Structure 1
Amino acid sequence: MESVSVNQFRDGLKRFVEQVVDKHMPLRVTRRNGADFVVMSAEDWERDQETLYVLQNSSLMRQIAEASMTHAVRTGYAPNKEQLDEILGVRG
C-alpha cells in the first residue's frame, strides 16, 4: 500500500482520489502525530465489508466448506439441462 504524508495528500487530493477509485488501491495517509488513516473507494470498502460478514458467519463458512468438498469429489448438486440452460441464460 502506498503511503503519503497528510501534506502530500492535501496537495494532490484530486490525483490521489482518482488513483484510489480507478486503480482500487487503498492509500495510507500518515500524520505527524502518528495517527494514520486509509483512503479507499466506497466500492472496495463495501466489498471488504461483505467479505468480513461472510468470514464471521460460521453458518455461511460451513456451507462454503461443505460445497467445496462436494464439488471436489463431484457429489454436489447437478442441474438438469433445462435448469442449466436457465442458469446460463440460453433461450430455446
Structure 2
Amino acid sequence: MEAVAYTNFRKELKTYFKQVNEDRVPLFVTNKNPEDDVVVLAKDDYDSIMESVRIMSNKQLMAKINKGDEQFAKGKGKVRELIDD
C-alpha cells in the first residue's frame, strides 16, 4: 500500500483517485496527527469488503457455508460443468 502525505494528496486529488481506481490498491493518507490518517480505496473494493462482513456476520449463512465446506472435505461434493448460453 502506497502512502502519501495529506498535503500532497490534496494537491493531486484527481490523480490519486484515478490511481486508486485503476490499480485497485488502497492509498494510505497520512496527517500530522496519526489519529487523522485515512485509507482511500475504490468503491467496488469497499463494497466487496462490506459484503464479506455482512456474510460473515450472518450466523445462519456461515453455518451453511461451513457445513458445505465440511461435506466437500469429506468427498461429498459434486463437480458440475457450467452451461453456456
Percent of aligned positions that are identical: 31
What SS class does the counterpart of residue 3 from structure 1 fall into?
Answer: strand
Q: Bigger relative contact order, structure 1 or 2, given CA contacts below 8 A and separation 6+? A: 2
Quote how far apart the aligned CAs of 1:89 are.
Answer: 1.9
Quote how far apart the aligned CAs of 1:16 are.
Answer: 1.0
Whether 1:72 aligns to 2:66 is: no
Output the TM-score relative to the length of structure 1: 0.78
Structure 1 residue runs without a partner (length 5+)? none
Structure 2 residue runs without a partner (length 5+)? none
Q: CA offsets per residue over residues 16-72 of structure 1, 9 Å max, x none?
A: 111111111111111223311111111001000000011111111111111011111
Partner Cα separation in structure 2 for residue 56 and residue 3 of structure 1? 31
Partner residue of 2:9?
Answer: 9
Which segments of structure 1 move beyond 4 Å, counting only runs of 4 or more?
none
CA distance 1:32–1:65, change in 2 (3 Å): same
Partner residue of 2:56?
Answer: 55
Between structure 1 and structure 2, the one with the greater Rg is: 1
Output the TM-score relative to the length of structure 2: 0.83
* Coordinate RMSD, CA, aligned: 1.9
Partner Cα separation in structure 2 for residue 75 and residue 64 of structure 1? 14
